[in-house]
Amino acid sequence: MSQASLRRAGGSVMVTVPPAYLKHTGLSAGQTVSLEMKGDTLTIRPSAKKRVTLAEILRGTPKKAARQRAEGWDEMPATGREAA
């Protein structure tokens, strides 16, 4: 078990997170975490990453992009396990 000191930062109190936890979870400063309190236990977990949907990607695509074509794209041979 690790120990950390609580520090005042403005009107809040902060706790430092061990680098090993950040490495293990892939978290870094500025990312969002979920906090759960049960009695006097505080659990910190990485927040679920928002999955971008195809509809969201298409909404962000410029309208004229559908008319743009990459020369020779459709004629390129498969390079992996794509279905022909």
pTM, full prediction: 0.48
Provide DSSP, the chain: -----EEEETTEEEE---HHHHHHHT--TT--EEEEEETTEEEEEEPPPPPPPHHHHHHTS-GGGGG---TTGGGSPP-SS---
The rounded distance, in Å, linking the Cα atoms of 28 and 14 is 15
Tell me the domains of the chain and their CATH numbers. Answer: 1-70 (2.10.260.10)
Averaged pLDDT score across all residues of the chain? 85
5-46, pLDDT tens digit by residue?
A: 899 999 999 999 889 988 988 888 988 899 999 999 999 888
Tokens representing residue 42 in the block: 């505080």
